[in-house]
Structure 1
Amino acid sequence: MAKARVAVLISGTGTNMAALLYAAKAAECPYEIVLVASNNPDAAGLKLAEAEGIATFAHPHKGLSREAHDGIMHDALVAAKTEFVALAGYMRILTPEFVSQWEGRMLNIHPSLLPKYKGLHTHERAIEAGDSHGGCSVHLVTAELDDGPILQQTPVAILPGDTADSLAARVLIAEHQLYSRVLAQWVARENTPEYWLNRVREHALAQAEADEVASHGMPCFGIIGGKKFAYFSHDHHGDGRTALLVKISGAEEQAMLIEQDEARYFRPAYFGDGWVGIRLDLGDNDWDHIGQWIAKSWRAVASKKLVKLLDIADEF
């Protein structure tokens, strides 16, 4: 499976960038660093990235509006075919427009246990408050500074006599370990059975009068008190596949689908000709299309009255 393409934005030495870069050298790492970009052409991290064979880009922000500079950086990310962005000491407040373009695909690491101590001077503030621990947090980036959903945190004990510098040095060690691990988990999350099930569940339960039960050892979705219209199959009977099972018209449609794409469609064991399996573990799921399959399957088992009521509601 292709590795996720990650760009890292830095402003200085780029130690967290280096941690991400070296983690990416492992064969099992699900991401690769395709670009290191900076608002500071003299950032030391750029030289390290170049030495490691990573493409770099730099454009100073002085004399430019935030919108103009963010636009330049965005274009560089797009040109590198970036899929995810990791902020690693990027000392810029990003515009809402830039953030929205990378929603759900941009992560940041912050040297505190958020929501405590957003912004700067985090270690001083933790010590002055008498906290037992400082630490670091990896979160999704939103338009509000250091305010996005927290993905993971690592607490770091504050020792007697700690200064901001001594605490910062230990927190940095924690950052280097935490960031690469969380980034790897985040970019790979769409390739896990848990993620696929949640997406199937989202579409299935969006249908009218739908509920979820367990049937044949699988999560199953049906109309309350009525027929089933979707199953989530994960290595069922040891077949090694993760798939969505939906209703179809019969053997002719089943055969046609399998002939068109035998890698994706299959005849599910024990379900007969009225069902088809759609593999979810091929790495290229089109969730809009899968949602359409689920809606079509729901219509195949719903009562005419329920379908008619839904159609009337859609007209309004």
Structure 2
Amino acid sequence: MAEPRPRARVGVLISGRGSNMAALLYASRAADCPYEIAIVIANDPDAPGLALAAAEGVPTFAQSHKGLKRAEFDAIVDVRLRAAEVSHVALAGYMRLLSEGFVNGWAGRMINIHPSLLPRYKGLDTHQRALDAGDTVAGCSVHLVTAELDDGPVLGQTRVAIVPGDTAATLAARTLIAEHQLYPRVLAELVTRERNPDYLLGLVRKHALALPASEETLSHGMPAFRIEGGKMFGYFTQDHHGDGEIALIVKTSGADEQAMLIDADPDLYYRPAYFGPSGWVAIRLDGGDIDWELVDERLRNSWRLVAPRKLADLPI
């Protein structure tokens, strides 16, 4: 029986009561939850959420941001997150604008929950703004954090009806229930997406189809990529012939290069049995923490090996 995959370690940043932190924490107690809360960090040492986290046995850290420049404070937080060996960061009522360097350091791995249906009502006072606009529906969104406030790609949303007589307070209270349901689900999807075949195929497709004169087709039951009307340069395999692997298969210069790659890193590369002694090599994609620059390089090399002369000299 295969060993269970280790759970992703998540750091949560709060500024106050931490109700969304609590929702993430209690969801993580389920046996099938793919993440655990590794640390809770607050920019206010008196934040009530710290006491809850500590009572639940979660390590905490707090330091006031007062008197520190934004980048200086974020550097302190970053050190604590990395010391806790977290792979993802969840903002849960964290009332701080983040420095660009901090955001870039966690790009694609830091999410936030916002009490509106983004892109509507970025920033504060979302519930009152929805009421003032005469909306019949409000809601909440979870999005990837980017340098611009509340502007990253939306990963999930829940709609919340606005009922007659609603105030900003009543709407906020009902939306908070939706937030507590939405946030754990989206976080779980985020930390497992690099093992999700559809997500991985989407990224492979993005890299492969960026190459000149490339197109996608189906070959041997697998999504495949070729020079238009010509030779294949990549295959995406998911448990093909029951091998249990999710991988990208690319062409090498021959058996010697194939063997060299496998010998150098057998955890990353393997010989796809059903391709015969052709020099094709498989790159495992389901191990997490994928080096997409390497994937892109191998795809480009494979493309060059099959490209006709009129294309082979194009800069890629």
| TM-score when normalising by structure 2 | 0.90
Change in Cα spacing, 1:66 to 1:248, as seen in structure 2 (3 Å) is closer
Residues 1:253 and 1:118: Cα distance change in structure 2 (over 3 Å): closer
> 2:302 is paired with a residue of what secondary structure?
helix
Structure 1 pair 104–278 and aligned structure 2 pair: CA distance change class (3 A): closer
Alpha-carbon distance between aligned partners in 2 of 1:19 and 1:299, rounded to the nearest angstrom: 50
Task: Confirm or deny that 1:116 pairs with 2:132.
Answer: no
Partner of residue 87, structure 2: 83
* The structure with more radius of gyration: 1
What percent of counterpart residues are identical? Answer: 62
* Residues 260-269 or 184-193, more deviating: 260-269
Gaps of 5+ in 2: none
Q: 1:18 aligns with which of 18, 22, 29?
A: 22
Give, in angstroms, the shift of residue 286 of structure 1.
2.7
- Which residue of the other structure, out of 181, 201, 204, is the alignment partner of 2:205? 201
**Matching residue within 211, 226, 235 for 1:222:** 226
Of 290-299 and 31-40, deviating more is 290-299
* Runs of at least 4 residues off by over 6 Å: none
Are 1:279 and 2:246 matched, yes or no?
no
Distance in 1, Cα, partners of 2:175 & 2:267? 51
* 1:296 is aligned to 2:301: yes
1:151 corresponds to: 155
Distance 1:109 1:196, change over 3 A: same
Q: CA deviation at 1:266?
A: 2.5
Could you tell me how far 1:249 is from its partner in structure 2?
Answer: 4.4
CA shift, 1:42, in A, is 0.7
8 A contact 1:254–1:267 mirrored in 2: no
Q: Which range is displaced more, 5-14 or 195-204?
A: 195-204
Secondary structure of 1:13's counterpart equals coil
Taking the aligned partners of 2:164 and 2:181, their CA distance within structure 1 comes to 24
Q: Does 1:97 align with 2:101?
A: yes
Post-superposition offset of 1:248 = 3.3
Q: Provide Cα deviations, 1:50-73, integer angstroms capped at 9, x if missing partner.
A: 111111110112222223222222
> Number of paired residues?
310
Please give the per-residue CA displacement for 1:189-217, whole angstroms capped at 9, x wherever unaligned.
11111122123223322333222111222
Judged with a 3 Å threshold, the aligned counterparts in structure 2 of structure 1 residues 142 and 294 are, in CA distance, closer, same or farther, namely: closer
Unpaired stretches in structure 1, ≥5 consecutive residues: none
Secondary structure of 1:219 counterpart:
strand
Cα gap change, 1:62 to 1:253, in 2 (>3 Å): closer
The residue number in structure 1 matching 2:54 is 50
* Structure 2 counterpart SS, 1:134: strand
- RMSD, aligned α-carbons: 2.2
State the match for 2:270 in structure 1. Answer: 265
